[in-house]
Amino acid sequence: MSYSAKIGPSILSSDLACLGSECVRMMECGADYLHLDVMDGHFVPNITFGHPMVECLRNCVGPDPFFDMHMMVSRPEQWVKPMAAAGANQYTFHLETTTNAGNLIKEIRESGMKVGLAIKPGTTVEELAPWAGQIDMALVMTVEPGFGGQKFMEDMMPKVSWLRSQFPSLDIEVDGGVGPSTIHKCAEAGANMIVSGSAVVSSDDPRSVITMLRTAVSEAMQKRSLDR
Ligand code: DX5
Ligand code: ZN
């Protein structure tokens, strides 16, 4: 087993006027990486921030924190180089936004970033499968992308289970409505990279929530390896 349990807070639910200190706070509370949600108002009905903000965040947090860029944008090709230059580590684009995923994967790698491939709830996992051998991470959305604080869609779990069975060492991320009450479903299905926004950021004790989420994933991984 080559993957491990990692928790990536989504800072979308934090006070956006304090993004730098919120990123630092999440890392101090034990986050394994930071999940940064970029929205363009076209692919999703909301706008957040772009590469200038990412560059400022990188300067603020230093070189170490891993930035997983969740690109909810209509033209992901446009932002590969600017995001790499701004200090992004992984570029996660949506399969729905491109007709040439292969080329985009190549461009992301050539820019020195890892590759994540995301699917919305309405996109089947079979559509992602042909690319699974070429990517570092598959993101199964568990809400319609666009907003934090939505209800977890449990009916996405078969996608995660199927991916885990087909690609045993792939990083599989879930995003949307994931917190202490829904983590067990994700962990049992086989997700190992856990995005959690409001459940972590709005908690009085983010450190405990992050630890709890990671423990749930690690225990499910151990159980799977014993069952094999
Ligand atoms: C939604 C974003 C998520 C969101 C998660 O489109 O991709 O990353 O911030 O927030 P919660 O965990 O509150 O659903
Ligand atoms: Zn996200």
What's the pLDDT tens digit per position in 76-117?
999 999 999 999 999 999 999 999 999 999 999 999 999 999
CA neighbor of 98 nearest in space, from 112, 114, 79:
79
- Ligand 2 centroid–CA 87 distance in Å is 18
d(CA 16, CA 177): 19
Q: Which residues, 6+ apart, have CB-to-CB distance to 227 below 8 Å?
A: none
Residue 158 has pLDDT above 80, yes or no: yes
Specify the ligand 1 atom closest to the Cα of 44: 6
- Ligand 1 centroid–CA 130 distance in Å is 26
Residue 2 has pLDDT above 90, yes or no: no
d(CA 24, CA 60): 8
Q: Which two tokens stand for residue 190?
A: 């086989």
Cβ atoms within 10 Å, residue 37: 25
Residue 1 has pLDDT above 80, yes or no: no
Out of 12, 14, 69, mutate this one to test ligand 1's pocket (max ligand atoms within 8 Å of CB): namely 12
- Ligand 1 centroid–CA 82 distance in Å is 23
Residue 198 has pLDDT above 70, yes or no: yes
pLDDT digit string (tens) for 5-45? 999 999 998 999 999 999 999 999 999 999 999 999 999 99
d(CA 96, CA 224): 31
Q: Is 101 in the pocket of ligand 1 (CB under 6 A)?
A: no
